[in-house]
Amino acid sequence: MQLLQQTIEILEKINAQDITVYEFLEKSPFYDYFVVATVNERASQSAVGYFNETLKSSIKQVEGKGQTGWLLIDLGDIVVHLFGEKDREFYGFDKRFMELKKKI
């Protein structure tokens, strides 16, 4: 749970909006949580730096770095999805996983 809290703190530090946690405990053998947030391009790039600074040993993979729209940071049990506003709506994670939403 400490890793989840650190993840949320980093996202708050970069002013991510609409931070949502979806819990997959006992539903997926690959991860326990998705953390989804809306960010602008600058905040997306800042996130990579903050995650590298704070949780470098937990980072398994970063996808979408240097691109716009969707950045994925794989922390093992936690997968962070950072979207631009339009892309978040397009991919529909919030509609797809609504029943798995966790209060933070």
Whether pLDDT at 1 is above 80: no
Q: What angle do CA 45, 51, 54 make, to 5 degrees?
A: 140
Give residue-wise pLDDT tens across range 43-81.
888 999 999 999 999 999 999 977 778 999 999 999 999
Confidence band of 19 (pLDDT split at 50, 70, 90): very high
- Give me the domains of the chain, ranges plus CATH numbers: 2-102 (3.30.460.10)
Are the CB atoms for 33 and 102 separated by under 8 Å? yes
State the pLDDT at residue 20.
95
Confidence band of 82 (pLDDT split at 50, 70, 90): very high
